[in-house]
């Protein structure tokens, strides 16, 4: 962390902290705006809107300070996003699995997710992919749903 600080300290341009601070300020503004429908109450009897508003103001202030003092932070361009693509794909795959979890059942969605991650993302051979996927789905189901009575979704085909 310190290396990047000193390396980028003298170059000109947009800093990481400028962006981060701005996003935090925008977030705090959004919260304050959404908060307007909740009554603020009085000092003696604070309403449901009072604490969120206070926090939003604090966060906005902190965001501003982060921007002001952000000149020495790493350049925005210096932040590496090399793993972002694969990370996004993984997150998306999990999202799809979550979407179908209660629709097709736990075991089917886990098999699908594992087949995708092992077979497509990691390019494993079909046999280990199939073995691990099916083994994991059934093994974990047996362990947690059958033995420990964790309630897992079954889907229309009982899987």
24 lines the binding site for other proteins (CB under 8 A): yes
Residue listed under structure tokens 């097709």: 104
125 lines the binding site for other proteins (CB under 8 A): no
Give whole-number Cα distances, 18 to 22, 48, 63, 74, 102, in Å: 6, 32, 9, 10, 41
> Which residue of 47, 77, 142, 146 would you call a contact of other proteins, by CB under 8 A?
47
| Alpha helix ranges (H) inside the chain | 2-8, 16-34, 50-68, 84-104, 106-114, 126-140
> Which residue of 71, 77, 126, 146 would you call a contact of other proteins, by CB under 8 A?
71
Task: At 17, list the tokens.
Answer: 């902290």
13 lines the binding site for other proteins (CB under 8 A): no
> Which residue of 7, 11, 33, 69 would you call a contact of other proteins, by CB under 8 A?
69
Whether the Cβ atoms of residue 17 and residue 63 lie closer than 8 Å to each other: no
3 lines the binding site for other proteins (CB under 8 A): no
> Which residue of 13, 58, 77, 146 would you call a contact of other proteins, by CB under 8 A?
58
> Which residue of 11, 13, 65, 146 would you call a contact of other proteins, by CB under 8 A?
65
Count of positions on this chain that bind other proteins (CB under 8 A): 77
Whether the Cβ atoms of residue 134 and residue 108 lie closer than 8 Å to each other: no
Residue listed under structure tokens 């206070």: 54
- Pick out residues in 129-148 that bind other proteins (CB under 8 A): 132, 136, 140, 143-144, 148
96 lines the binding site for other proteins (CB under 8 A): no
How far apart are alpha carbons 153 and 159 in whole angstroms? 8
């Amino acid at each position: 962390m310190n290396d990047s600080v000193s390396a980028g300290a003298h170059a000109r341009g947009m800093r990481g902290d400028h962006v981060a601070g701005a996003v935090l300020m925008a977030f705090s503004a959004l919260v304050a705006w959404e908060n307007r429908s909740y009554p603020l109450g009085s000092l003696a009897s604070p309403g449901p809107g009072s604490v969120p508003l206070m926090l939003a103001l604090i966060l906005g202030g902190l965001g501003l300070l982060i921007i002001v003092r952000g000149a020495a932070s790493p350049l925005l361009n210096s932040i590496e996003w090399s793993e972002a693509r694969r990370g996004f794909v993984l997150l998306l795959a999990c999202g799809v699995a979550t979407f179908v979890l209660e629709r097709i059942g736990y075991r089917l969605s886990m098999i699908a997710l594992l087949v995708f991650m092992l077979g497509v993302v990691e390019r494993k051979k079909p046999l280990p992919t199939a073995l691990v996927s099916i083994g994991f789905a059934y093994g974990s189901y047996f362990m947690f749903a059958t033995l420990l009575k964790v309630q897992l979704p079954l889907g229309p085909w009982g899987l």
